[in-house]
Structure 1
Amino acid sequence: MFLTPLCIYLYSLIFRFYHFIIFIEIIFTKIQIILTHRKWEQSKLGEVATLSSSKRIHLSDYVRSGVPFYRGNEISTGGITSDQELFISEEKYREIIENYDIPCEGDLLVTAVGTLGNIWKVDDRRFYYKDGNLIRISNMKFDSDYLLSYFNGGTGKKRLLNSAAGSNQKALTMEKMREIPLLLPIDEDQQKIGALNIELK
């Protein structure tokens, strides 16, 4: 169906208005939480979640097809593979599953080198990931969508990026990330904030 310029313009206005309403709802929810004096717990990321990396995969482990092997690019694009996608064999993937921990649905992966601080929430697809390039956040004692929205927002994003180490080429490290301070509302409010930020995207 061919869309006229007027239709495209109207659709754009509706889309922007929808995002504006969601944004206002996020602000209202946060204000409501503050005004009701609900208790927020202060913790460090390492106290309420596990940070880890992957088993090293060598160049000789790459194959033409098989289980996708994610690096920073795939995480930055939300798990969308590129033309230069890499794979490991089914046999190698089974070996990893049998001997090591792998990302589970709901875990978060953070880009640690290159473009720092991009985050992807793991879904149900099969994949493995590159050590050193990505940091896994798992076993969270809070709603993962809340942490996702926190690290994508102003204060949280700044704290995440400020934890990067190195002078010439900055990189995120598990040691520094474990010290990042967090403010955690009660579970109900975590879910509200996380859900609204997902809808805003």
Structure 2
Amino acid sequence: MAERDDPHLVETTLSRQELLRGHFLHVVREQVALPSGAEASREFVIHPGAVMIVPLLDDGRVVLERQYRHPMGRVMIEFPAGKLDPGEDRLECARRELQEETGYTAREWALAGQLHPVISYSTEFIDIWFARGLSAGTRRLDEEEFLDVFAATPQQLLDWCRDGTVTDAKTLIAMLWLQNVLAGTWQLDWRP
């Protein structure tokens, strides 16, 4: 349903104030007019967008990462992902991130969909890409990036999602996609 169908729900921006512009985060506060005519304040993060890759090995396993996430204070299990560079094509970003983080390149790619992980306080979107026909190669991690790459069966990943081992939102959503793709319920349009 489009916004034009919901004018009674739409807020209108009256002004914007920049609160923080860091290396990664850009935080703003907007004064908005509510549908009732009253005013309210909204603070949120402006994010350039990202990609996540569900890499499928020929033996049916998926490629995952274990990475320490400082805000959580723990090592998380997740699919490879990364932020879009300014002006970067989304598929090119997915190819770059897969190779940099895991060392793999893929023969075929399919765009599954898009998710918005934190709609209450960020403009972030994440494109969900599937990759298959993987070939192993050399990783090129960023200087400040430390992670382990490993493979698991879809069933193992599903179990980790169910028992709380995996709590990363993008990986939970990717598991939903993976489960439906493997069941034949959701189709992917593969391309080289």
Q: TM-score, normalised by structure 1?
A: 0.20
Higher relative contact order (CA 8 A, sep 6+): 1
TM-score when scaled to structure 2?
0.21
Q: Larger % of helix: which? A: 1
